[in-house]
A and B are shown apart, each in its own frame.
Chain A
Amino acid sequence: KQEVTQIPAALSVPEGENLVLNCSFTDSAIYNLQWFRQDPGKGLTSLLLIQSSQREQTSGRLNASLDKSSGRSTLYIAASQPGDSATYLCAVPNSGGYQKVTFGIGTKLQVIP
Chain B
Amino acid sequence: DVKVTQSSRYLVKRTGEKVFLECVQDMDHENMFWYRQDPGLGLRLIYFSYDVKMKEKGDIPEGYSVSREKKERFSLILESASTNQTSMYLCASSLVQRTPGWKLFFGSGTQLSVL
Contacts and interface: CB of A to CB of B under 8 A. Distances in A.
Interface of A: 31-32, 34, 36, 41-46, 49, 89, 91, 93, 99-101, 103-106
B109 A43 contact: yes
A103 B58 contact: no
Contacts of A46: 103-106
Contact of B48 (A43, A91, A100): A100
Interface stretch (B14-22, B37-45, B73-81): B37-45
Contact of A43 (B56, B58, B90): B90
Q: Main secondary structure on chain A at its contact with chain B?
A: strand
Interface of B is mostly: strand
A42 B97 contact: no
Contact of B109 (A36, A41, A93, A99): A41
Interface in B89-115: 90, 92, 94, 96-98, 102-109, 111
B64 interface: no
Contacts of A45: 106
A103 B106 CA distance: 13
B97 A93 contact: yes
Nearest to B30: A99
Given A43-B90, A105-B42, A106-B42, A99 B103 contact: no
A102 to B, nearest CB: 9
